[in-house]
Amino acid sequence: MRFVCVTLVAALALSSAALVWGCASSGSAGKARVGGLAPYRVNGKTYVPLRDWRGYEEEGVASWYGAKHHGRKTANGERFDAYEGMTAAHKTLPFNVCAEVENLRTGRSVIVRINDRGPFARGRVIDLSKAAASELGLVRSGLTKVRVEAVGVADTKGRCEGA
């Protein structure tokens, strides 16, 4: 009987510790897994995602995509949210990398999480969700010259705060 009591006390202590640890750590999300590193082919061209994305910076033309793609699956398998998601498509930055996109005409900038592949139109470097494009002030024009800089990795909840 004593052995059973000791075992129950030990089990209770361990489960309580796990519960306390779980509650204490539930407010802070760790880093998401960087993915989408396999080479892929579109329109006869092979793209090789960057394994070493730190320090990545590029200037070029940004575009945006919205209603037509809203709710469809992105290249990383999640549903695209054109209206609330601060996300983007990029040809070679890995999934879950956060990138700062600066509108070079206005100086406005936004941080987006890469969750899709593209754009595959000539001369374009990044395709933004409508929400991100709105923050940059490019919904009306549709295209603008930008600087894209990788700034970190999203947390496990897909947020780029503090990236």
DSSP calls for 111-144: EEEEEE----STTEEEEEEHHHHHHHT-TTTSEE
Which is nearest to 93 in space by CA: 117, 67, 68, 66?
Answer: 117
Residues in the chain: 163
Going by pLDDT thresholds of 50, 70 and 90, the confidence category of residue 78 is very high
Q: How many domains are there within the chain?
A: 2
pLDDT of residue 59: 98
Asked whether 59 and 124 are in contact (CB, 8 A), the reply is no
92 and 129 housed in the same domain: yes
Q: Verify that 81 and 135 share a domain, yes or no.
A: yes
Which residue range(s) make up the domain with 3? 1-28
| 83 band by pLDDT with thresholds 50, 70 and 90 | confident
Mean pLDDT along residues 136-148: 94
| pLDDT level of residue 147 (50, 70, 90 thresholds) | very high
Cα 48–chain centre separation: 18
Q: Are strands 143-153 and 45-47 parallel, antiparallel or unpaired?
A: unpaired
* 55-58 LR contacts (CB < 8 Å, sep 24+): 55/150, 56/93, 56/99, 56/148, 56/149, 56/150, 57/147, 57/148, 57/149, 57/150, 58/125, 58/147, 58/148
Convert the pLDDT of each residue in 27-48 to its tens digit: 456 899 999 999 999 999 999 9
Half-sphere exposure of 31 (CA within 13 A, CB side): 11
53 shares its domain with 22: no
Report yes or no: 160 and 112 within 8 Å, Cβ to Cβ.
yes
Q: Is the pLDDT of residue 25 over 70?
A: no
pTM: 0.80
pLDDT at 28: 56
Give pLDDT tens digits for 97-111. 999 999 999 999 999
Residues 54-60 have a mean pLDDT of 97
- Computed over every residue of the chain, the mean pLDDT equals 84
Is 100 within a domain? Answer: yes
- 9 and 70 in a common domain: no
In-domain check, residue 19: yes
